[in-house]
Amino acid sequence: MDLSNRRCPSERPQLPCGLLAVLGVSLWSCPITFIWGLLYHVAPSLAVFMLPTSGALIALVVRLHGRGVCTLLQVLSFLCYGVLLLTSLMFGFAIATPVPVALVFALVAMGALGTWLLFHAQMTISNGKAWLTLGRLEQSSLGKTLRNHWFLVLPLGLVGGGLSSFGGVMLLATVGCFNVN
């Protein structure tokens, strides 16, 4: 029996998992919102730099927890970035001073661009073969398991990210950095 061709379970390429990405977004939206509000409380003029930074952080969370790159995970990261932006704008800790609208749109566009670039970043050479295998598996029926259906991943991601962001705002209010009326 030849065992030289068999792969160890840790060497097998992992399929992208949308539900793990949802779990990651649900866990990490609260700390990102909390850091944003804390930065606004400590140095209000620096809070505007969280507009592009939060997009990059959410893209990293989705890419790492989702274990790969696919269109569904990209859409999830953009939607969760929108949830973070809406939360920070609704509760008023996104922008401190009167800032030109063009600058705000430019910073939001930089965040969206950072999200897109993190999904299209080059993988290391060691992951190159796994990436090619994942690309082929995503096109096959194996990539279409229940954990990757858009009608599960996107609504759960929006609800989880929204609740977690609201939890970050409540945490800010508990600490005393934010006054919720």
pLDDT over 60 (residue 175): yes
Task: Look at residue 87 in the predicted model and tell me its pLDDT.
Answer: 93
Cβ neighbors of 146 (< 8 A, separation 6 or more) are 152
Q: What is the DSSP letter of 14?
A: P
pLDDT over 90 (residue 139): no
The model's pLDDT over 85-113, given as tens digits with 9 standing for 90+, comes to 999 988 888 887 777 888 889 989 998 99
pLDDT-based confidence at 9, cuts 50/70/90?
A: very low
pLDDT over 90 (residue 181): no
Residue 122 dihedral angles phi and psi, to the nearest 5°? -70, 140
pLDDT-based confidence at 142, cuts 50/70/90?
A: very low
Per-residue pLDDT averaged across 102-129, rounded? 76
pLDDT over 50 (residue 5): no
pLDDT over 90 (residue 22): yes
Task: Look at residue 79 in the predicted model and tell me its pLDDT.
Answer: 94
Task: Look at residue 1 in the predicted model and tell me its pLDDT.
Answer: 47
**pLDDT averaged over the chain?**
80
Any idea which residue has 């919720």 for tokens?
180
The more confidently predicted of residues 69 and 30 is 30
The more confidently predicted of residues 142 and 51 is 51
Distance (Å) of CA 41 to CA 32, 45, 46, 91, 95: 14, 10, 10, 13, 11
Task: Look at residue 151 in the predicted model and tell me its pLDDT.
Answer: 86
Cβ neighbors of 37 (< 8 A, separation 6 or more) are 88, 91, 93, 168, 169, 172, 177, 178
Task: Look at residue 4 in the predicted model and tell me its pLDDT.
Answer: 47
Query: How many Cα atoms are found within 13 Å in the side-chain-facing hemisphere of 8?
Result: 2
pLDDT-based confidence at 25, cuts 50/70/90?
A: very high
Task: Look at residue 53 in the predicted model and tell me its pLDDT.
Answer: 93
